[in-house]
Structure 1
């Protein structure tokens, strides 16, 4: 018996690594006839101080995330994925992806890109992908290489 994935959660942040993760997720979703949940977490810590000064920052971040995920949804559908959800939320990507959102969509696979942090940044804050691997209750696929277009 082979494992069949039904709910795939893909972390999208606009980086080239998350684009690679998306491309790989499309193939996996197609082979498994799975639902693709495209997720972007707007990290509230990164703009909390500035937002007090300029409220429109949150609105711009939300609009950017929705447009980015909307483009990816169209690409997935063009490749034959019939069930695609878009989730934009606020908080800490490190904890929300593997705990809250994975539970919300009953994810059986989380796909994310390896982050481009340097050694000092990794030591100080740790990477999102590292945290997902440690805390997820389901399979995790961390993408480190580009996927060739079929």
Structure 2
């Protein structure tokens, strides 16, 4: 296993996403890596309604997104991460995470498995499956839901 220096994890404020944050934070602590916690948001309800996939919580606006990030960063600190950055990006969760991964030159992307085994996930794709296909860095899919 290579040394990770920058680890990205996404959050939407859900319990499932906080489990992924916890796992990413523990890895970041073990490698003394920077943990970048990202949150996607939609600028309008119309933008949110355009997405066919509903496997993540819909975050409208930057204020709720920042609140999710603050909660996730606090959670990450509690499990040992010390170098934590937060980034908010507009768009779908996949678009936002891919932007953050590329922007930060991440070595590892950590996501929860929510949506991956749903009917919608199998037909339309899911955030974990889509980022795994699109990412140029290692991807860890954490078992956060049954």
TMscore range, shorter length: 0.7 to 0.9
In 2, Cα distance between equivalents of 1:94 and 1:105: 15
| TM-score (structure 1 length as normaliser) | 0.78
Residue matched to 2:53: none
Residue matched to 1:96: 96
User: Which one has the largest radius of gyration?
Assistant: 1
Residue matched to 1:108: 107
Residue correspondences, number: 135
Residue matched to 1:19: 18
Alignment of 1:56-95 (within 5 A): 61-95=61-95
Return structure 1 stretches of 4+ with deviation > 4 angstroms.
none
Give unpaired runs (5+ residues) of structure 2.
Answer: 50-58
After TM superposition, give the deviation of residue 110 of structure 1 in Å: 0.1
- Aligned CA RMSD, in angstroms, stands at 2.5
Question: Greater helix share, 1 or 2?
Answer: 1
| TM-score (structure 2 length as normaliser) | 0.80
Give unpaired runs (5+ residues) of structure 1.
Answer: 52-58
